[in-house]
């Protein structure tokens, strides 16, 4: 059956009653809604995030840097609860005017630097530490896959995930539209990974770190209800191989639970300030 038709008005207006699960926080305006400072720890890097696919990119990057021996990559990670609007406090908006996680303050230089958007954080840290980003002719390939992921995420999350799992009503057209695009993106990755061990080539890079948190939950069946079955994710065997390979990396295992505020208590980590915080945790 076709969806009911909707005729847009001449001028759109915000209806606070028609926002579904996120109605309490979604508004068509930017800026701070509450005057509140952010917590600050002892390390040069202060990360404000949540263990969503975009947030996990940053924590995996930090844990991979530490695993690789970059001891000066120690960081403090603070949970920002995006469900209660913590991303709209004045302190967070000062770091990220777009009010999205993750956001990073880097005080390792002469002047503090703010970095927002997950891809920018990965690129900043890769260049700062000279890690997970090649400097030879393969650099362009890695950056291409990094920005492929950044551009693809809204179709998967705000597109498929929203209409399939979160929208207050289920409509056939948007679900079909974004299911098709999500499967196409999986096929892009699957064909690439049939040719190459990693997205950027023979080495593990920030392209893999960026993409893993979005594709892995589909492979493991832990995102958007029954999405794994609905999208026949097991068809993408090369993506599955790559996901399981990366999931075994110690840095990935640790990074996936930092700023996690749900699940069993031994899988949660609201704050992370040192390696000792992982003691007793399941990761």
- The pLDDT assigned to 1 comes to 44
pLDDT at residue 261 greater than cutoff 60: yes
Q: Where do we find the tokens 């770091």?
A: 95
What is this structure's pTM?
A: 0.96
Token pair belonging to 194: 């049939």
User: Tell me: the pLDDT tens digits for 35-85?
Assistant: 999 999 999 999 999 999 999 999 999 999 999 999 999 999 999 999 999
What pairing do the DSSP bridges indicate for beta strands 45-49 and 271-272? unpaired
Residue range 193-230, pLDDT digits in tens: 999 999 999 999 999 999 999 999 999 999 999 999 99
What's the CA gap between 182 and 159, in Å, rounded? 9
Nearest Cα residue to 213 out of 129, 104, 121: 121
The better pLDDT of the pair 116, 7 is held by: 116
* Other residues' Cβ atoms within 10 Å of the Cβ of residue 173: 10
Can you list the domains of the chain with their CATH numbers?
Answer: 45-132+257-278 (3.40.30.10), 139-247 (1.20.1050.10)
- Distances in Å between the Cα of 25 and the Cα atoms of 17, 89, 118, 165, 169 are 11, 12, 21, 18, 19
Q: What percent of the chain has pLDDT over 70?
A: 97
Res 21 pLDDT > 90: no
**Which pLDDT score is estimated for 25?**
84
pLDDT (tens digit, 9 = 90+) per residue, 172-190?
999 999 999 999 999 999 9
Compute the distance between CA of residue 256 and CA of residue 267 in angstroms, rounded to an integer: 9
The shares of helix, strand and coil residues in the chain, as percent rounded to the nearest 5, are: 50, 10, 40
pLDDT for 16: 77
The yes-or-no verdict on residue 115 having pLDDT over 80 is yes
pLDDT at 19: 65
Q: What is the mean pLDDT of the chain?
A: 95
Q: In terms of DSSP H, where are the helices of the chain?
A: 53-67, 90-95, 118-129, 139-154, 172-195, 206-220, 227-230, 237-247, 250-255
**How many Cβ atoms sit within 10 Å of the Cβ of residue 161?**
23
Q: pLDDT at position 23, please?
A: 76
């Amino acid at each position: 059956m076709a969806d009911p038709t909707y005729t847009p008005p001449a001028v759109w207006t915000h209806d606070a009653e028609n926002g579904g699960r996120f109605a309490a926080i979604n508004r068509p305006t930017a800026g701070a809604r509450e005057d509140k400072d952010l917590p600050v720890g002892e390390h040069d890097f202060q990360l404000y995030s949540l263990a969503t696919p975009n947030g996990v990119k940053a924590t995996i990057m930090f844990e991979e840097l530490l695993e690789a021996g970059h001891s000066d990559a120690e960081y403090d990670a603070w949970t920002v609860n995006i469900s209660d609007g913590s991303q709209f406090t004045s302190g967070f908006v000062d770091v990220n005017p777009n009010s999205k996680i993750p956001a990073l303050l880097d005080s390792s230089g002469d002047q503090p630097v703010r970095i927002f958007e997950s891809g920018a954080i990965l690129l900043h840290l890769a260049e700062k530490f000279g890690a997970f980003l090649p400097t030879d002719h393969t650099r362009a390939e890695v950056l291409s896959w990094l920005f492929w992921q950044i551009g693809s995420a809204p179709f998967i999350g705000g597109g498929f995930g929203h209409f399939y799992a979160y929208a207050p009503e289920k409509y056939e057209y948007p679900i079909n539209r974004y299911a098709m695009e999500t499967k196409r993106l999986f096929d892009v990755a699957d064909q690439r990974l049939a040719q190459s061990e990693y997205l950027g080539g023979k080495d593990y890079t920030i392209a893999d770190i960026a993409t893993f948190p979005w594709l892995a939950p589909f492979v493991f069946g832990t995102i958007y209800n029954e999405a794994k079955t609905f999208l026949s994710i097991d068809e993408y065997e090369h993506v599955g191989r790559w996901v399981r390979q990366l999931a075994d990396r110690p840095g990935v295992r640790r990074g996936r639970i930092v700023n996690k505020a749900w699940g069993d208590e031994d899988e949660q980590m609201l704050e992370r300030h040192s390696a000792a915080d992982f003691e007793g945790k399941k990761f």
